[in-house]
Amino acid sequence: MTNNSLENGKNITNEIIEKKKMPKLWSCLVPQSDERKKSEQINKQINIRLKQDEKIYKSTYRLLLLGLFIYFLYFFFYLIEFFSRRG
């Protein structure tokens, strides 16, 4: 049992080492595997989508703040008018 688990542990560590990125200097000398290229493309697409979502979130947040500000201004002027008529 221990021998088998050690072999599995070695296989796992070897896979982790293989998945680490090579330095960019070596990438032109040693071709990248198809899986690595696909994963890099997928990561780029995910990062682009996250940036787009972040822009949408920021603009939505600003619009909500603007709407809230306008609402409070309206309420403030309503209170001024209400108390000026009352007094």
Locate the domains of the chain by residue range.
Answer: 2-86
Burial (0-12, 13-18, 19+ Cβ within 10 Å), 36: middle
pTM score of the predicted model: 0.50
Interval 5-42: pLDDT, tens: 555 555 555 555 555 555 556 666 666 688 888 999 99
Listed in order, strand segments (DSSP E) in the chain are: none
Q: Which pair of tokens denotes residue 60?
A: 């939505």
pLDDT band at 1 (very low <50, low <70, confident <90, very high): very low
Distance CA 6, CA 46 (A): 36
53, 45 Cβ separation under 8 angstroms: no
